Amino acid sequence: MAIAALLRPADSRWTDALDRMRHDIYHLPAYVRMDAGMSGGSPAAFRFDDDGDTLLIPLILREIPDTTSMDAVSPYGYPGPIATTADQGFWERAGRHMADVLAAQGVITAFVRLNPLLPAPRAALASVGTVVEHGQTVTIDLTLPYEEMWKQTHRSCRNQIGKAKRAGVEIVFDDWGYFDDWIATYHATMRRVHATDFYFFTTDYFRRLRDALGERAHLAAAVAADGELLGGNLFFEYGTIMHTHLQSTKDGRVSHADKLLYDAIRRWGQDRGNEIYHLGGGVGGAADSLFHYKAAFSAGRSDFFTWRVVTDPVGYEKLTGEEPTTTSTTGRFPSYR
């Protein structure tokens, strides 16, 4: 008998589901709770069980301004649906049940970011909503010999890593005394690249993130020979998967500290027995300058998709003035935001 439920972080059925399948740090109740708290939403996870198999999707439920309705969105990062099986029929049933459960809660749409490292059967998802391809992300295979990783690194990056070392730049791991200074470099970087307001995460966000993830969050600090902090990389380690969350450098001359950071972190991760290091992609998954910058460190690629589901077509049409179709849900979604 199929069972579908919307869970809260304290519900033991959430962690029980994670114990049944391979998952990532973005699926943890603590991460979803933290992210929801910073965005003003409510943390939740949809769980579906049928014939011995289980599916889980982390979500944040948000009120839609000037309405009595809500919508659902993935936490920041790469949560994505995960399951104990790749059976398409099971995933199709799970998707239909998710739409029904969310609609019963007054949720009109769901926007879900898939995890590039944990593929989902996209044809099954497309039978319930719209799957949109955004581009690729960059991965480093940490099971390769380091010599092969170095070979995959672009020549210019190899030269700059060497220059950073000769300049006396040192990478220090998990010295949280650098944390506040690193946050300042992050904000400086966002101003320098003219980032949108979304990316100006507050100091409170960073502190809550560290509190939520504990020893799963790491800080690699790039320190000059004179002790000045040049930049740093805030990254996650969970299971055998690593993700760069955010990297930044201070304004001014940084002696290629950014390049040395990626090289030092992959060495660190390999030494600890991790299997993959995910650098992410361009803004919104685009093949932009940020993507090409990351691509210079590895030949590894993963595809990034989002899944858009209209759970209440009537409510959606009232808000947008258009019927939900593949075309109308492929662009900005939900368009009323």
**Is 76 part of any domain?**
yes
Distance, C-alpha 75 to centroid of its chain: 8
Verify that 211 and 312 share a domain, yes or no: no
Verify that 121 and 201 share a domain, yes or no: no
Verify that 128 and 20 share a domain, yes or no: yes
Please state, in angstroms and as integers, the Cα–Cα distance from residue 282 to each residue in 36, 208, 287, following that order.
24, 25, 6
**Is 219 part of any domain?**
yes
Verify that 65 and 13 share a domain, yes or no: yes
Q: What is the pLDDT of residue 39?
A: 87
**Is 296 part of any domain?**
no
Residue 171: which domain range? 143-274
**Is 127 part of any domain?**
yes
Question: How many domains, in total, are found in the chain?
Answer: 2
**Is 326 part of any domain?**
no
Verify that 126 and 9 share a domain, yes or no: yes
Q: What is the pLDDT of residue 252?
A: 84
pLDDT, tens digit, for every residue of 87-104?
Answer: 999 999 999 999 999 999
Give the 3-state secondary structure of residue 242: strand
Verify that 162 and 113 share a domain, yes or no: no
Q: What is the pLDDT of residue 244?
A: 97
* Structure tokens belonging to residue 125: 């998802």
Verify that 30 and 118 share a domain, yes or no: yes
Q: Residue 286: pLDDT above 90? A: no
Q: What is the pLDDT of residue 271?
A: 98
**Is 287 part of any domain?**
no
pLDDT, tens digit, for every residue of 173-213?
Answer: 999 999 999 999 999 999 998 988 888 999 999 999 999 99
Verify that 182 and 219 share a domain, yes or no: yes
Q: How many residues does the chain have?
A: 337
Q: How far apart are CA 334 and CA 72, in angstroms?
A: 10
Residue 222 and residue 261 in contact, taking contact as beta carbons nearer than 8 Å: yes
Verify that 42 and 111 share a domain, yes or no: yes
Verify that 227 and 126 share a domain, yes or no: no
Long-range contacts of 1-4, Cβ-Cβ distance < 8 Å, separation of 24 or more: 1/50, 2/48, 2/49, 2/50, 2/93, 2/97, 3/47, 3/48, 3/49, 3/50, 4/46, 4/47, 4/48, 4/49, 4/94, 4/97, 4/98, 4/100, 4/101
Q: pTM (2 decimals)?
A: 0.94
For residue 201, give the CATH number of its domain.
3.40.630.30
Verify that 164 and 127 share a domain, yes or no: no
> For the residues 298-303, what does the mean pLDDT come to?
97
Verify that 112 and 202 share a domain, yes or no: no
**Is 285 part of any domain?**
no
